[in-house]
Amino acid sequence: QKEVEQNSGPLSVPEGAIASLNCTYSDRGSQSFFWYRQYSGKSPELIMSIYSNGDKEDGRFTAQLNKASQYVSLLIRDSQPSDSATYLCALYGGATNKLIFGTGTLLAVQP
Amino acid sequence: DAGVIQSPRHEVTEMGQEVTLRCKPISGHNSLFWYRQTMMRGLELLIYFNNNVPIDDSGMPEDRFSAKMPNASFSTLKIQPSEPRDSAVYFCASSKYAGPAGEKLFFGSGTQLSVL
């Protein structure tokens, strides 16, 4: 089992809809969780971090963490074409103590 | 601040040649990371440094890869000899510190390496 798993997509949503991106992980000792956005041909940039169970909201973005089920998700409300990018889930592994990335989910927001 | 600066942006070389990638982290950041990104494997951590000291190089594929950080403002990743399977985008990133606290990573623009 991969340390961090994401559906590669593409996930296609219409403009204005909610995009839901999911990520599961294998290391129960993982402590910190992140969502990075990467536009085509660009470098990743951090958009959300979450450290405890529950929801964390920042503007149109909501990160959700459920450590018991070992998943973390990202909701994007009122999706815009400018949100079209690859979204990378990342976490600090409890065993490895280093930042591990998933392979990312490609989101396409249709105007 | 100019951000993390990597050079070159693109490198095309022939199999067997030596390749050197360069990185200047953000001033004041104590941790530096080298990642490799491919379609198949995503972003893989190759090595990271804290205060110029290599902490974990378990991600370095093999002895052909080496990394140095002679001072707080410069790091290199060298591949010798290069092989076609090394073709990827190599990212350098820096942060104030590494560890479970999860300080934000700032990535450079990457080096697109093509080994023919």
Quick: pLDDT tens for A33-87. Answer: 999 999 999 999 999 999 999 999 999 999 999 999 999 999 999 999 999 999 9
Residue B12 identity (one-letter amino acid): V
CA distance B108 to chain A (A): 7
Mutate to test the interface with A, among B105, B106, B109 (most CBs of A within 10 A): B105
| B21-33 confidence digits (pLDDT tens) | 999 999 999 899 9
Confidence class of residue A96 from pLDDT cuts 50, 70 and 90? Answer: low
**What are residue B90's DSSP bridge partners?**
B36, B111
**Distance between CA atoms of A61 and A19, rounded to whole angstroms?**
10
Tokens 């294998």 belong to which residue?
A: A26
Identify the weakest region by mean pLDDT among A52-66, B82-96, B98-112: B98-112
| B66-77 confidence digits (pLDDT tens) | 999 999 999 999
Q: What percent of chain A has pLDDT over 90?
A: 80
CA distance B28 to chain A (A): 19
Q: What percent of chain B has pLDDT over 90?
A: 76
